[in-house]
Amino acid sequence: MLLLLSVAALVAVHAIAQSAASEPTAAARIVFINSYHRGYSWSDAIERALRDELARSGRPIELSFEYLDSRRFGYGDQIPLIARTLAAKYRAYRPEVLVVCDNPAFEFAMQYREQLFPGVPLVFCGYNDFPPETARWLNNATGVTEATSIEDSVAMALKVHPGTHTLAFITSTANSTNAHRRGGGVRHLPATAPALRRRGNQGRPDGAHPPAAGRTAFFNPGVPGRPDERAHQRPGDQPR
């Protein structure tokens, strides 16, 4: 976690240095788009790491923060309205770097970056399950992806608890941030532990858990999202 934050912040610092080498005394304008809300510990930690690294750069920094609040309100009909608001707010204000954290903010940038911040370098972090085809949409962008190795976690658990005969996974099916956690790693588990029986609680509405009879190891690969969160839209939509 700390490595992810530090690397993302250092990348942002490097992008600022590259974009503003001709004006070393001018304040660097940075817009940070947060997928969530102020007070959410994960993204708050990223903000702190970014501030700390930028403070070490020795250059005046002008930071602007925007919040999509997608964990509480999903990624839906309000997103075009947010884009329209940002279009009005930043019409006469050009940042030197755009920083986004986690999937919703990255996908927001994919949809609206060229309209809101044309030509501005993009730095992203915390993107889960980065698909190879996404690279064709990227231009003047760099960042840090995040991956959860379910196989390695299971292998460690079995080493610590060799008597385990059942693995139970409590995951979320609500949003794309958690989609990889219910997919890729879990479906490769038969090769990791062929003799084990797998059971999952795939976002059951009654909140019931798999029975904990015998020697069962429980895994929670991520924080479940809200049940009303939607799959994120593809790039191309424009605010009306």
Q: Is the overall model pTM greater than 0.85, yes or no? A: no
Is 120:98 a contact under the CB 8 Å cutoff?
A: yes
Q: How many beta carbons lie within 10 A of that of residue 231, not counting itself?
A: 11
Is 177:102 a contact under the CB 8 Å cutoff?
A: yes
Q: Same domain, yes or no, for 141 and 183?
A: no
78 membership: H or E segment, kind and range: helix 78-89
Query: Does residue 228 sit within a domain?
Result: no
pLDDT at 37 (0 to 100)? 95
Q: Same domain, yes or no, for 118 and 193?
A: no
Instruction: Kindly report, residue by residue over 11-62, the tens digit of the pLDDT.
Output: 565 666 555 554 556 889 999 999 999 999 989 998 998 898 888 888 899 9
Residue 65 pLDDT > 90: yes
Query: Does residue 169 sit within a domain?
Result: yes
Q: Same domain, yes or no, for 68 and 154?
A: no
Q: Same domain, yes or no, for 157 and 121?
A: no
CATH number at residue 80: 3.40.50.2300
Query: Does residue 230 sit within a domain?
Result: no
Instruction: Kindly report, residue by residue over 128-142, the tens digit of the pLDDT.
Output: 877 777 777 788 998
Cα–Cα distance measured from residue 77 to residue 74, given in angstroms and rounded to the nearest whole number: 9
Q: Which of 34, 26, 69, 72 is nearest to 51 (CA)?
A: 34
Q: Same domain, yes or no, for 96 and 187?
A: no
Model confidence at 83, in pLDDT bands (50, 70, 90)?
A: very high
- Vertex 62, ends 57 and 78: CA angle to 5°? 125
Q: Same domain, yes or no, for 196 and 82?
A: no
Q: Same domain, yes or no, for 15 and 116?
A: yes
Query: Does residue 56 sit within a domain?
Result: yes
State the residue range of the domain holding 79: 2-146
Query: Does residue 17 sit within a domain?
Result: yes
Q: Which residue has the higher pLDDT, 101 or 154?
A: 101
Q: Same domain, yes or no, for 138 and 163?
A: no
Is 43:104 a contact under the CB 8 Å cutoff?
A: no
For the chain, report the end-to-end CA distance as a whole number of angstroms: 38
Residue 69 pLDDT > 60: yes
Instruction: Kindly report, residue by residue over 110-122, the tens digit of the pLDDT.
Output: 999 999 999 999 9
Model confidence at 208, in pLDDT bands (50, 70, 90)?
A: low
Q: Same domain, yes or no, for 112 and 209?
A: no
Q: Same domain, yes or no, for 136 and 163?
A: no
The domain total for the chain is 2
Q: Same domain, yes or no, for 49 and 100?
A: yes
Task: Answer with the one of 146, 167, 194 that is the final residue of a domain.
Answer: 146
pLDDT at 146 (0 to 100)? 77
